Structure formats: C-alpha cells, structure tokens
C-alpha cells in the first residue's frame, strides 16, 4: 500500500538515522554509505515523495515498470540503479536507461551491456553480483569466479566496474546476519587489490543494513523501510 508523502519522508529520515548510527558504531564516516531507495512495486508518486525529501538514488527490479518511472522524471538529476535479475532480453533497456547495473553475474550479460550502451552516455557503472550464501536458486556468480569476471568487465569500453553486490539469505538476528557480509567484504578487498577503480560494495536491505554497514558496505538498497510493504502482482 502506498504511504503518504509525509510518511515516506519520515521513513527516509529514520533510515538515514539507522545508517548514521551504524556508521558511528563501525567507526566510519556517515557519508561513506550511499542510500538507494528501492522503489520497485510503487508508482511515480512514491518517487516524487522521496525526491521532495532529498532522495536522489533509486533502485528498480522490474524493467517494464521502471521505464515509465524513469521517463516521468526527466532532467530531475536522479541516479537510476537496476538491481533485478538480468537476462539477455533486458540488457538493451538497462544499457539505454540506467546509470548503474548491480546484478551482472556472467560475461555474456556484461558484453551485451557494453555493446548496447549508447555512445552519448557515460560508461554504465557495474557491480558484479556474488552468491555469498551458496544457494543454488540464487543469482550471482560463485565467489571463486568473481575476480576473473571483474577483470573482464574492467576491460570493457562502455562499462565502468565499480565493485561487488550481494543479497545474502535472510538471517535471524543481527549476529547471524554478519558472516555472509564479512565474506563478501573479504572478497571485495582481494578484488580491490588486483583491479583498479573499485570503490563500491552494494549490500544491505531493510532488515540487515546495520550488519552490512558493520562489515563494510558502501551502498545500501532499501525498499520496505522507506515505501512500506510491496503488494506483489
Ligand atoms: C527488493 C530488493 C531490495 C530492497 O529490499 P527491502 O527488504 O524491501 O529493503 C534490495 N535489493 C534487491 C536486489 C532487491 O531486489
């Protein structure tokens, strides 16, 4: 259910406080974490409420739904992040309309994104999605494949490799949430030692942003805590 603009503004303030508190606990600067508001499942009015409250980064998972929202906000100085599962039939629209792609997990998808990125746009920012929880059903490359994929993407002309992304399996309790984020951070550090230009660890959602920030996340993707519970179609 769509919340009121006032509620969305209040929710955003609460999420920003959670991020600031986690950064303080981790001994990190408050501006070391970027907040992506995940607006999937909600219409342009949800984006309007969030932008009025100062939000500039938005995350979308459902391609068709997202294109209308992007088109409805031309020149609004917003940054659009594609975070949904990426199949070959989605790469062209992602390359044409988004600023970031967080869910690149195989070479073929990266090649298509680079080929299809319009020449007049800056390189598409890319994160390699890693399956840190090791579940067969999840998207993301295996941790052992991440370095080779990062090296390949870093060499592609129309992509700018920024880092790693993961969606760990939900954990019960803050302590149980941290180990997958810690493994992700260790992988991030080892890739960063070998590949230039990496500055982004995209990890943490409404339920686990504190654990992610404690373990070094630089970008959290928050939907429910800002916009409320999604009604799936
Ligand atoms: C939906 C989604 C989110 C946001 O999840 P919430 O629990 O609603 O904060 C973050 N990342 C990805 C990849 C998602 O699909």
Q: What is the pTM of this model?
A: 0.96
Q: Give residue ranges with CB within 6 A of ligand 1.
A: 38, 40, 61, 83, 167, 205-207, 221-225
Q: Which of 38, 102, 226 to mutate to test the pocket of ligand 1 (most atoms within 8 A of CB)?
A: 38
- pLDDT top residue among 63 and 230: 63
Please give the number of the atom of ligand 1 that sits closest to the Cα of 222. Answer: 9
Task: Name the DSSP class of 91.
Answer: H
Residues 6 or more apart whose Cβ sits within 8 Å of residue 139: 85, 86, 103, 105, 129, 131
pLDDT at 118 over 60: yes
67, 114, 163 from 158: Cα distances, Å: 21, 5, 16
Question: Residues 167-184: what's their mean pLDDT?
Answer: 87
100-104 and 159-165 beta bridge pairing: unpaired
Q: Residue 169 has what pLDDT?
A: 85
Integer Cα distance of 170 and 83 in angstroms: 17
Name which residue sits closest to atom 6 of ligand 1, judged by CA.
223
CA 195 to chain centre: 20
Handedness of CA 137, 139, 141, 142 (dihedral sign): negative
Burial 172-199 (b: 16+ CB within 10 A, else e): eeeeebbebbebbbebbeebbeebeebe
pLDDT over 80 at 136, yes or no: no
Counting from 1 in the atom list of ligand 1, the atom nearest the Cα of 40 is 1
CB-based contact 94:88 (threshold 8 Å): no
Q: pLDDT tens-digit profile of 71-101?
A: 999 877 999 999 999 999 999 999 999 999 9
* Alpha-carbon span 208 to 166, nearest angstrom: 12
CB distance 81 to 59 below 8 Å: yes
Which residue segments constitute the domains of the chain, with CATH numbers given? Answer: 5-227 (3.20.20.10)
Please tell me the distance from the alpha carbon of residue 190 to that of residue 143, in angstroms, as a whole number.
Answer: 11
Q: What percent of the chain has pLDDT over 90?
A: 88
**Which whole number is the average pLDDT over 44-67?**
96
pLDDT per residue over 197-227, tens digit each? 999 999 999 999 999 999 999 999 999 999 9
54 phi, psi to nearest 5 deg: 95, 0
Q: Rounded CA gap, 206 and 31, in Å?
A: 18
User: DSSP letters along 166-196, please?
Assistant: --PPP-SSHHHHHHHHHHHHHHHHHHHHHST
Q: 3-state DSSP call for residue 201?
A: strand
């Amino acid at each position: 259910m769509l919340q009121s603009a006032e509620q969305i503004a209040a929710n955003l303030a609460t999420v920003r406080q959670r991020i600031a508190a986690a950064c303080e606990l981790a001994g990190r600067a408050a501006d070391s974490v970027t907040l992506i508001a995940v607006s999937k499942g909600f219409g342009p009015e949800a984006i309007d409420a969030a932008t009025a409250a100062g939000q500039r980064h938005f995350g979308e998972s459902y391609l068709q739904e997202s294109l209308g929202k992007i088109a409805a906000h031309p020149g609004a100085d917003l940054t659009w992040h594609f975070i949904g599962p990426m199949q070959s039939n989605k790469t062209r629209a992602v390359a044409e309309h988004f600023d970031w792609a967080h869910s690149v997990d195989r070479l073929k998808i990266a090649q298509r994104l680079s080929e299809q990125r319009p020449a007049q746009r800056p390189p598409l920012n890319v994160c390699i999605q890693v399956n840190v929880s090791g579940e067969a059903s999840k998207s993301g490359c295996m941790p052992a494949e991440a370095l080779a994929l990062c090296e390949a993407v870093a060499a592609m002309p129309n992509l700018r490799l920024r880092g790693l992304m993961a969606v760990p399996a939900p954990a019960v309790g803050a302590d149980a949430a941290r180990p997958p984020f810690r493994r992700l951070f260790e992988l991030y550090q080892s890739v960063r030692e070998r590949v230039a230009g990496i500055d982004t660890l995209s990890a943490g959602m409404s339920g686990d942003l504190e654990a992610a920030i404690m373990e070094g996340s630089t970008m959290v993707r928050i939907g429910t805590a800002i916009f409320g519970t999604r009604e799936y179609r």
